[in-house]
Amino acid sequence: MLQKQQQALPLMGNNPEDRLICSKKEVTMRMGMIGLGRMGGNMTRRLRRGSVEVAGYDRNPAAIQELVEECGMITADSIEHLVTQIAEPRIVWLMLPAGEATEAAVERMKTLLAAGDVLVDGANSYFKDSMRRGRALGELGIHFVDAGVSGGVWGLENGYALMVGGEQEPLSKLTPLLKILAPAPDRGWLHTGPVGSGHYVKMIHNGIEYGMMQAYAEGFALMRARADFALDLGRIAQTWRHGSVVRSWLLDLTADFLTQDQELAHIEPIVADSGEGRWAAIEAIEQGIPTPVMSTAVMMRFASQGKQGYAAKLLAMMRQRFGGHAPTKVVDE
């Protein structure tokens, strides 16, 4: 089982002592956070615990108010208002969905930030978009940093793995923040290289994650199918957590939910996919590097979403035509 304190960890932080803890510490710096959802909200909480003043904005006023009351975040009722609350040179961190939302925010920041300011994109953005944004902002003298962030809802307590791309000058300004957000000041964060490299490394990270998840899923499905052995999947997963070469944090999480329920009867067999898994597969094709595990894992997610249905019907009909095998027909109710 996971540690007891981890099992009780809420989706969003809910520590009534956060504000008291922060009030007792000397403030080291101030920055802005735009996007206060599951990731941005918990990153704000962790920064406040590390004595950083955070001015935060989100389209949802309730998300702002929650963090103001909980950990003393400085409220902002607009992006423009947020920028005025930070002294130059400013640091503004975006934790918005990748794509249109991030693109729109970057375009707005071009008119609000000044030369020497630092804009960080912590979304799962496509690395080529980050390279383009870095060039455009650089022409204005604004530093752009792309930060791949991993840790999910556990990052508040355990820290985040940070893969950061950009020039050395803005990285030196961000270092105190990275040391707070990471699992420890001396590990879990890395300056990966120039702009674009942070999101590139995070893209590959997620491709590997897809493959690992798919392998675990297939292995446990095989064991469950062997009904004559009546295997206890929860106990097997717990055993593998100790000394096995396949032990991992993903296995820890899997062991936790399988110990509670290995039938999963209430879960639909549909798995969403993020853009990063697709991008990793496309990058492999463009480079001519074989990545069958990552690529197949992405395809299996497409299949779970019902996108294999028509192809399967065609296969059934082909088999019927050349071999006379009767396809299974839909039964009218």
What residues are labeled active site?
A: 202, 209
What separation in angstroms does the CA of 258 have from each of 72, 73, 115, 161, 254?
Answer: 38, 38, 52, 26, 6
Could you give the CA distance from residue 221 to residue 230 in angstroms, rounded to a whole number? 13
- How many C-beta atoms lie closer than 10 Å to residue 297's C-beta? 26
Q: Residue 205 in contact with residue 274, Cβ under 8 Å?
A: no
DSSP state of 109: H
| CA 23 and chain centroid, separation | 30
Could you give the CA distance from residue 84 to residue 271 in angstroms, rounded to a whole number? 42
Could you give the CA distance from residue 58 to residue 190 in angstroms, rounded to a whole number? 28
| CA 101 and chain centroid, separation | 16
Could you give the CA distance from residue 133 to residue 59 in angstroms, rounded to a whole number? 23
Which residue type sits at 1?
Answer: M
Structure tokens at 154: 């556990």
